[in-house]
Amino acid sequence: MKTNHDLRLTVTLRLLDGEGRRRFGPGVAALLEEVREQRSLRAAAASMGMAYSKAWRIVHTAEEALGHKLLDSTIGGRHGGGAALTEEAEALLAAYRALREEVNAFAQERFKERFRDL
Amino acid sequence: MKTNHDLRLTVTLRLLDGEGRRRFGPGVAALLEEVREQRSLRAAAASMGMAYSKAWRIVHTAEEALGHKLLDSTIGGRHGGGAALTEEAEALLAAYRALREEVNAFAQERFKERFRDL
């Protein structure tokens, strides 16, 4: 067998709730990191080409499942205030990124091994 | 932080081509396994609630990227013949399932460790 070895492996990690619904994964993680950068959920959504209502729903759905806030809103200003990541969101992101890194390294290693002879 | 520990981790492995397009993953794997079961792509698609044209496209796209056939068609019969997995498809599926198993076990272990104190 001569499988095309230009194919590369990607690993996606997601947190699902009891009903199997996606609650946290690459999308929420990227959105939170963009909020950290932009200091605003609205600006983060815009820079990702995402409707604000969708970004809000993603964050809200994750918060509900996790049982804690991910964003601290700062009130006021004519642009409706900004947002910062909560301490819990930072800890979650750090754990998620570290886990992803570690699992990905393991997976790439094993992929090379298992797909070498295909 | 008191993250809800009813959340569970899922791991998705995908093969992407040079342009980052998805070429093989859980969807194709499940479809191939259903073809093996049903001995027909059309029957497999139907039992998965998928249009035959979509199933055909998924298989064709994967074959193109992998550089080998995944299905052997058997011609004839008034239902348009059946299909069987090629030897290469069986080897690929076995490697994919084994890799997924191994990476998942590793990920669940590290998840418990890294998310315990969140």
What pLDDT is recorded for position A116? Answer: 86
What pLDDT is recorded for position A5? Answer: 61
- For A42, list phi and psi in degrees, rounded to 5: -65, -45
Q: Which residues of B touch A107 (CB under 8 A)?
A: 13, 99, 103
Helix (H/G/I), strand (E/B), else coil: A25: coil
Please, what is the average pLDDT of chain B? 90
Strand partners, A13: B11
Report yes or no: A87 at the B interface, CB cutoff 8 Å. Answer: yes
Mean pLDDT along residues B32-44: 95
Check B10 against A8: CB less than 8 A apart.
no
Q: ipTM surpassing 0.85, yes or no?
A: yes
Please give the DSSP secondary-structure letter assigned to residue B39. S
Q: How far apart are CA B52 and CA B68, in angstroms?
A: 21
A11 and B12 Cβ atoms separated by less than 8 Å = yes
**What burial class does residue B111 get, using C-beta atoms within 10 Å of its C-beta: 0-12 exposed, 13-18 middle, 19+ buried?**
buried
What pLDDT is recorded for position B5? Answer: 61
Domain ranges of chain B: 15-115
Helix (H/G/I), strand (E/B), else coil: B116: coil
What pLDDT is recorded for position B118? Answer: 81
Low-confidence ranges of chain A (pLDDT < 50): 1
In single-letter form, the type of residue at position B52 comes to Y
Check B95 against A87: CB less than 8 A apart.
no
Domain B15-115: CATH architecture, name and number where available: Orthogonal Bundle (1.10)
pLDDT band at B47 (very low <50, low <70, confident <90, very high): very high
B83 and B71 Cβ atoms separated by less than 8 Å = yes
What pLDDT is recorded for position B1? Answer: 47
What are the structure tokens assigned to B67, written together? Answer: 């550089």
A12-16, B65-69, B81-85 — which one is most confidently predicted on average? Answer: A12-16
